[in-house]
Structure 1
Amino acid sequence: MTTTASPTPESRGPARPARLIQNEVTTEIPVHLLFRDEPDPVSVPLKPAVVSRRQGTGEQPRLRRPAGPARVVPEVDPDLAERPARVLPGSAGVLAGSCGLAGCAVTSWWAGALPPLALEALRLPAYAGAGLGPAQWAAYAGAGALGLVGFGGLARGRTGRAWVLGLFGRYRGTVRRTGLMWVNPLLLRRRVDVRLRHWRSEPMPAADAAGVALRVVVLAVWRVRDTARATLGVEDHEAYLRECVEAALARVPVEAPGSGRGGVEAAGEALTRLVAAEAAAIGVEVFSVQPVRVEYAPEVAAAMHRRRIAALDAQHRASVLTSVVDSVEDTVTRLTVRGLVELDDYERKALVKDLTVAFCSGRGESGT
């Protein structure tokens, strides 16, 4: 019996290392990838510039368009903003002024310059007086200055009005209080109306979407929100507002007369947005800018009137012709359906012609 010797480890070759991972799978690597001189450049996937896409509507993606230049809104000094000013109650000014008058009276008694009637009225004892010397003049100056400062700084605040205070060209604050108050008399006061106001313009030039010249009357509703910017940011905030409205009318097309109210309302909304954005820089709050009257410019009014009359005449002629044709058709149909007449093609055409002439003549005589 012959026995076969089992192969030794040397004859079977080197032993394969044990798998570290049980489900390890060996994959062949192509030889040409191991001997490449230069690697391929890495391709970066480019994402399409898509703005938005609504799901379930079948809408195609819209490419992002380059944005146009942003409109520059004018800006005033950023440090210039309304802030409350320091004022005192009116009673403080009245008290200071009264003390000044009392000081003048006492100084006059001290100098002996008060007449007897004044002594009796003030119930002061008779005093010969020391005369008007340096001390008396100094007392007069101090009491007089106190009286002038006390009574000169009194001011009355009203509802809907504000005081803008300045000292040597510098803004010192805004007073919105009402009633009697005391304000430093050295400060320069500017009264500003902060109530809700409206401005109705004169006929201003404008144009419609087709470029036809128009004249538009605009009604603007506004008020001053920041008194410091409205008075110190520009020379005249009312003139600035009028110029903003004119500039907005040059950019916004206004519907021509007779085009409907919807176009006028849309133009009003656009005007309100533009004017409010520009007027906000000077502290003016704009609520509404609406065209209240739109008419053609004088140079094109006559031509547009003739064009409109021609359009109305053509519309009237078309309606009259439609009415006549319907009447003729109805008459011929009734005659033939009821068997009142039997017409061939030639007789039918003649009847239609005669009826058309008769109906047109009758409508012309009646003026309809």
Structure 2
Amino acid sequence: MDRTESPVFEGADPASERSAAGRPARVIRTEGTTEIPVHLLFRDGPDPAPGRLRSAVVGRRQGTGEQPRLRRPAAAPARPSVPRVDPELVERPARVLPGGAGALAGACGVAGCVATSWWAGVLPSSAAAALGLPAHAGAAGAAGLGPAQWAAYAAAGALGLFGFGGLARGRTGRAWVLGLFGRYRGTVRRTGLLWVNPLLLRRRVDVRLRHWRSEPMQAADRGGVALRVVVLVVWRVRDTVRATLGVEDHEAYVRECVEAALHRVPVEAPGGTDGAADAAQDALTRLVAADAGPVGIEVFAVRPVRVEYAPEVAAAMHRRRIAALDARHRASMLTSVVDSVEDTVTRLTLRGLVELDDHERKALVKDLTVAFCAGRGEAGP
């Protein structure tokens, strides 16, 4: 075959020329190319059907080891970190007894001490007579307390201490978080007279709906102007064990969450619209609720109640507002004067009271404008 008619370029070997004689050559074999099957390049796609496997030519430099680059999937955006608490810290009711049981146990302990004293002969006769007890036969010659009497005293005293020492009064809106040797034992939300194991450590938690008014905190508006904001936070403790054991001080944690949210959400400057203020309030509430939720605190509203400029920019912003108000007042007064002059000249001309040429009309307009401006200036503040 003639070289000009062969589809093989110069530099191809005779085998390639012979294969080109039967069918058109698909691969250009030179010093800088190599042949790689398609199914090895694209492993992520479906396998090609038999009989349709073709070859692909991928150019690479010799000696560099450069390989074809495959497109990698885009990395998923990083999600914001959420504070996590020990999953074992889940509120559960503690085991308590009615207060009557503790009072009965304490009374039994006191009665046991009295009975032991009578048995040992150390109870005075007057006290025994007052209690309706017969005089002990060996009271006059009692030499002291024996081991049996001491054991009875210990048992009765322990019973009395446990009975009266565990009495507690549950109040509405208050709860106790109980722990023993650093381990959570349950939460008491019941009201009335109760008996709680006196060996348990009690932490009182206020679970009522609460509000907190902050001190002036640093914030900024949409333009980056420094502000001082006082916010009102409405919240309550939803999970007592997480609020008590999951964080060191849940009230301080709420304050820190509010301060962090103020640095992230722009607050509407003084004199702004109600819609922007409501949007800022909703954004603050969502952020604080999301941060305080994992520690068992439910936030209902974070409402800015007072917004003012920071001291370092208050004077400049005050002058700026005064200048804007003055410019607005001047524009309003000038519009009013121009309307009054136009109305006066039009009425004089239409009624035929004066006949004015252009020069006289301009002079009249000038005199009326000066007179009206002077009159409004004297009548102004």
TM-score, normalised with respect to structure 1: 0.81
* Counterparts of 2:238 and 2:201, CA distance in 1: 21
Aligned counterpart in structure 2 of residue 225 of structure 1, from 238, 260, 267 = 238
Q: Residues 299, 313 of structure 1: CA spacing in aligned structure 2 closer, same or farther, 3 A cutoff?
A: same
2:249 alignment partner in structure 1: 236
Task: Provide the C-alpha distance between the structure 1 equivalents of 2:250 and 2:111, rounded to a whole number of angstroms.
Answer: 46
Whether 1:363 aligns to 2:372 is no
Of the three residues 108, 115, 118, the one matched with 1:109 is: 118
Whole-angstrom distance in 2 between the partners of 1:178 and 1:191? 13
Aligned match of 2:82: 73
Where does 1:311-326 land on structure 2 (aligned, <5 Å)? 311-326=324-339
Counterparts of residues 198-347 of structure 1 (less than 5 Å): 198-347=211-360
The structural deviation recorded for 1:67 is: 7.0
Cα drift, residue 342 of structure 1: 2.0
Shift of 1:136: 0.7
1:87 aligned residue: 96
Identity of aligned residues (%): 80
Can you give the 5+ residue segments of structure 2 that lack an aligned partner in the other structure? 1-22, 27-36, 46-73
List gaps (5 residues or longer) in structure 1: 1-34, 45-64
- Quick one: which amino acid aligns to residue 310 of structure 2? A
CA separation in 2, counterparts of 1:67 and 1:312? 50
State the alpha-carbon separation in 1 of the partners of residues 248 and 38 from structure 2: 65
Shift of 1:66: 8.8
- Report which stretch shifted further, 207-216 or 78-87: 78-87
- Which residue matches 1:128? 137
Instruction: Please tell me the residue identity of whatever aligns with 1:199.
Output: W
Q: Matches of 1:234 and 1:227 in 2, distance apart?
A: 11
**Whole-Å separation in 1 of the counterparts to 2:221 and 2:76:** 26
Aligned partners of 2:156, 2:346: CA distance in 1, in Å? Answer: 114
| Partner-residue secondary structure (3-state), 1:198 | strand
Compute the RMSD of aligned alpha carbons: 2.2
Alpha-carbon shift at residue 37 of structure 1 (Å): 8.2
Instruction: After superposition, give the CA deviation of every residue in 1:266-294 in whole Å (9 maximum; x if it has no partner).
Output: 11110000000100111010000000000
Q: Distance in 2 between matches of 1:66 and 1:169?
A: 43
* 1:41 Cα offset (Å): 7.1
Partner of 1:157: 170
Cα distance between partner residues in 1 of 2:75 and 2:327: 47
1: distance between equivalents of 2:256 and 2:130?
64
Deviation of residue 325 (structure 1)? 0.6
Equivalent residues in 2 for 1:12-23 (5 A)?
none
Shift of 1:340: 2.0
* Partner of residue 57, structure 1: none
Which residue identity lines up with residue 79 of structure 1 in the other structure? E
Tell me what 1:17 maps to.
none
Equivalents in 2 of 1:203, 1:119: separation in Å? 70
Q: Deviations along 1:12-45, whole A, 9 cap, x unmatched?
A: xxxxxxxxxxxxxxxxxxxxxxx7888x97998x
Once residues 272 and 301 of structure 2 are traced to their aligned partners in structure 1, the CA distance between those partners, rounded to angstroms, is 22
Partner residue, 1:137: 150
* TM-score normalized by the length of structure 2: 0.79
Task: Please give the secondary structure, in 2, of the residue aligned with 1:184.
Answer: coil
- Residues 288/332 of structure 1: CA separation in 2 closer, same or farther (3 Å cut): same
In structure 1, C-alpha distance between the alignment counterparts of 2:302 and 2:75, rounded to whole Å = 31
Cα 1:36–1:121 shift into 2, 3 Å: farther
Alignment deviations for residues 108-154 of structure 1 (CA, whole Å, 9 cap, x no partner): 11111111111112211221336411111111111111111111111
Query: Which 4+ residue blocks in structure 1 deviate beyond 4 angstroms?
Result: 35-38, 40-44, 65-68
Task: Quote the residue 1:4 is aligned against.
Answer: none
1:186 corresponds to 2:193: no
In structure 2, distance between residues paired with 1:96 and 1:36: 106
* Cα distance in 2, alignment partners of residues 67 and 333 from structure 1: 73
